[in-house]
Structure 1
């Protein structure tokens, strides 16, 4: 898991460029997994731990440019798509980054349709949950181990 941690923490490096070139990029945090039946590469073995790794980490938003709103662990130990599954279903962009849902320091998630009466409590709960998270324009994102605050 050490190399997965380094991959997410390191912006530049020859070794990271080689991994990106060989496997491609899934997202900022990890390369695509190799599904080729032949060969046993070192990175192929390391990447087999991705699910376990992402279960153990969370993210500090920083400026919100690289962390996905619904699909990364923004708040503690769960993803917003798991905490608010009905809202995730009607989200206009399930791959949106955090910065897309901020408007002048206010949270403004975008949905495909208006809310039904029974969904109003969910949106209030989501906004209340997000209220404790602030973006700092100058800061970069950070990967945090476990549910740590810093």
Structure 2
């Protein structure tokens, strides 16, 4: 059985580091489960979740050209049918309620659909925003250093 992206496999934890766990897969290959892929919640210490020798079910996230294999334990536990992520986020989160949405929604005033913006318009908007931020940053840092013409001595 070859190791393909998306497949679920059984493996054995062979090593633990501060950034993840190494899992031995069938055919003697080894992959890495990053600490962010161990559990659905925040993992401060991976040793609280895994120990060397544990048998785990993992899902193959990626196989790089140099042979590195990225694995996930939390994605292997998700339900089939693609509703796992929606279901997971839908349960524990509070509903938005009647809060107003303050973010721009890329729609024109008549709600006829998304506004088409050309690359040039996007680039122009980006440059203007960037210059505004840079000006604000310079103004704040110069006042803290005493301005441009301050004497040193």
Same fold by TM-score greater than 0.5 = no
* TM value normalised by structure 2: 0.21
Q: Which has the larger radius of gyration?
A: 2
Higher relative contact order (CA 8 A, sep 6+): 1
* TM value normalised by structure 1: 0.21
Decide which structure has greater helix share.
1
Decide which structure has greater strand share.
2
